[in-house]
Amino acid sequence: MKKRVVSIALILVLCSSALFLLAGCSSEEKVVRVEYAPGAVFTTNVKNSYSIFKTAVVLVLDKEGLEDMLDQNLTSIRDTIIFILRDLDEEAIQKSGRHDDLRNRIMDDLNELLGIENIVEVRFNDFVMGR
């Protein structure tokens, strides 16, 4: 009888522990996403063309509290983005598959410039080319 009570108690403890661990593993960690706009609009000429390109860029960060550092480096951030955009020709702007390459290049270059890895996405609010 004592063995049976001990066995039942042991099974209850093991089941409780398993449920506790499973509940802890299934709880989702809060994913932080902070949006930062390095200025309202970027306007630049298009390489080998008489066209003008205009876009608004939003940087998505995976960490809070970087806004002050980004504000302090705003001139360098804008300079980097402008020179990347000035290197685009009409085909690069019009071809939809190239937008992901542009996003990745901006993200990689800015992370390298700032010595961080917290810029995880680049979004475009506007993406317009005209003459």
Tens of pLDDT along the chain (131 residues) come to 555 654 555 565 555 665 565 555 544 567 889 999 999 899 999 999 999 999 999 999 999 999 999 999 999 999 999 999 999 999 988 887 788 999 999 999 999 999 999 999 999 998 899 88
The whole-angstrom separation of Cα 114 and Cα 66 is 11
pLDDT of residue 11: 61
Domain regions of the chain by residue span: 34-130
Q: Are 55 and 41 in contact (CB under 8 A)?
A: yes
Asked: is 34-130 a CATH 3.60.20.10 domain? The reply is no
Q: What is the pTM of this model?
A: 0.75
Side-chain half-sphere of 66: how many Cα atoms within 13 Å? 23
